[in-house]
Amino acid sequence: MRRTLPFAVALAAASFFQAPASAAVPAAAVQHDQDRGGIARLVDEAFAQYRLPGLAVGVIEDGQVVAVETRGELVAGGGEPVTPDALFKIASNTKAMTAAVLARLVDQGKLRWDDPVTKHLPQFRMHDPWVTANMQVRDLLIHNSGLGLGAGDLMLWPEPNDFTRADIIAGLQHLEPATSFRSGYAYDNLMYVVAGEVAAAAGGAPYEELVRREVFAPLGMDGCRVGSWRPDQAGPVARPHRRVEGRNVPMDGDAERVPDITSMAAGGIRCGVQDMLKWMQAWLDPADPWLSPPQRRAAWTAHMPMPLGERMRQWDNSHFSAYGYGWRLSDVDGQWKVAHTGTLSGMYSSLVLLPDRRSGFVILINGEGEDARTALGQALLERHTAPGAGHGVAHYAALLERERSQRAAADPLPDTSSRQPATQAEAGGLLGVWRDPWFGEVAICPRAGGVGFASARSPLMTGSVMRVDQRWLVDWDDDSVDAEAWLHPPVRAGGEGAVLTLSAVDPEADFSYDYHDLAFTRVRDCR
């Protein structure tokens, strides 16, 4: 088992061996203390600027851990501090671990990157039979399926729901593509769920067992959790938070046993900052025998071009952007960057590597921290790529606020303040039980005080139908479902019957609320 001495332990040990007062302090030690002090100041700035409930940051320079900084609490107001081993949801940073499991299986000769997916999952079907036959294992990892951004994510989130991995595989054939296969990039979570099932089939063990065997055990990531586990048998666990009227409000905590969620291979792993640093070191050391040089190259090869945004051009002086196997690749001020982010309701993560410098950092946040992640990440990145710039968190916070104002002016949020509960009489054409081929049934039926909308398979997608002038809106009962939906009256589709559709009210709603991919046909009356 591969282990490294935790930085906090190393510091504690060093305190017992202080040099005499007259001894000269090595220049490297002075530089180390200065670096750590600069990192701590940036972490303090981000924590205060964004009033985060909890924050954990780890930094590696030239292959060595130089800082582990933690701030805040596991649960706001609970009094338990965030520690280096506190578990956070790393969300889509899971994807690189899923890709690594597959890479290890390739090293072991149990699969090939160019294997057809149907070789391992004969039941796999896409909307187009040609795509079904020609999709390879590599295609599952690089967001080139032809599906639209976040297509089918409503089978994964909001949680909990009763969609299984088998449901995901069965539902894919009903998701119509937005583009042709391999013609462009569109971020996708469902294909990583499929990738996890391919790994299980080829590796002869459930996905979670493979992650423990191929990633956690050889790298000494003993605190990380995957699959089903008990919080009382793990380390401290950070709880996600929402911002409500300026306060950090804890979201629901874990049950006595955390379930093995359907989205595990796409974004379900939890780790502490200490174990994430071990993960980073394994990638920053090209001689580490954990993964062969050919598979390291495969993971960090630019398999699919990605759009190069204006922010990347202005902030990073970037010239290319692409996706590897579970990693985003780009250049920053002339330096190679390998990175990924993770976002789940109430938790944010970011991992950045600069392989040529054998350096990088990880950020874990247990609150609404998108801007905090971006601003702190950019300030930490510039310490390596543009140290003379001298920009702190506040500088990037101001730029982000300016971007937000410009977007709001260009595409303002619709005014829904005139909303009133729909009456049964005026919503008569909407009433009934409707079915989408991949999402299942929803009931738009009378309920106390008006008309309700209730999904049969995703319980949190239950709310009230509201009238906004001449439009219909679904106001969700649970505040954790934070993207309201327009409900569009049925229209005829090719003479096959009435089709009811939805779309997001907020133009900036998270793409996983893929309401626009739903197409409901009426199946029966309300009971």
Question: What is the C-alpha to C-alpha distance for residues 8 and 86, in angstroms, rounded to an integer?
Answer: 14
pLDDT of res. 16: 24
Question: What is the C-alpha to C-alpha distance for residues 319 and 27, in angstroms, rounded to an integer?
Answer: 37
Asked if pLDDT for residue 350 goes beyond 90, the answer is yes
Question: What is the C-alpha to C-alpha distance for residues 269 and 89, in angstroms, rounded to an integer?
Answer: 6
Joined together, the tokens standing for residue 138 give: 């590599």
Inter-residue contact 163 to 155 (CB < 8 Å): yes
Interval 78-102: pLDDT, tens? 999 999 999 999 999 999 999 999 9
Question: What is the C-alpha to C-alpha distance for residues 477 and 285, in angstroms, rounded to an integer?
Answer: 49
Inter-residue contact 355 to 60 (CB < 8 Å): no
3-state secondary structure 282-324: HHHCCCCCCCCHHHHHHHCCCCEECCCCHHHHHHHCCCCEEEC
Question: What is the C-alpha to C-alpha distance for residues 238 and 90, in angstroms, rounded to an integer?
Answer: 11
3-state secondary structure 68-127: EEEEEECCCCCCCECCCCCEEECHHHHHHHHHHHHHHHHHCCCCCCCCEHHHHCCCCCCC
pTM equals 0.92
pLDDT of res. 491: 73
Question: What is the C-alpha to C-alpha distance for residues 148 and 303, in angstroms, rounded to an integer?
Answer: 18
Report which of 484, 426, 476, 425 is spatially closest to residue 452, judged by C-alpha positions: 476
Interval 429-463: pLDDT, tens? 999 999 999 999 999 999 998 999 999 999 999 99
Structural fold of domain 55-77+87-242+260-409: Beta-lactamase (3.40.710)
DSSP lists the bridge partners of residue 56 as 70, 364
pLDDT of res. 423: 96
Element (H, E) at 241: strand 241-244
Interval 33-64: pLDDT, tens? 556 789 999 999 999 999 999 999 999 999 99
Inter-residue contact 443 to 526 (CB < 8 Å): yes
Q: What are phi and psi of 210, to 5 degrees?
A: -65, -40
The arithmetic mean of pLDDT across residues 200-221, rounded, is 98
Report which of 437, 424, 436, 426 is spatially closest to residue 526, judged by C-alpha positions: 424
Q: Does the CA dihedral 393-398-403-407 come out positive or negative? A: positive
Residue 428 CB burial class (10 angstroms; 0-12, 13-18, ≥19) = exposed
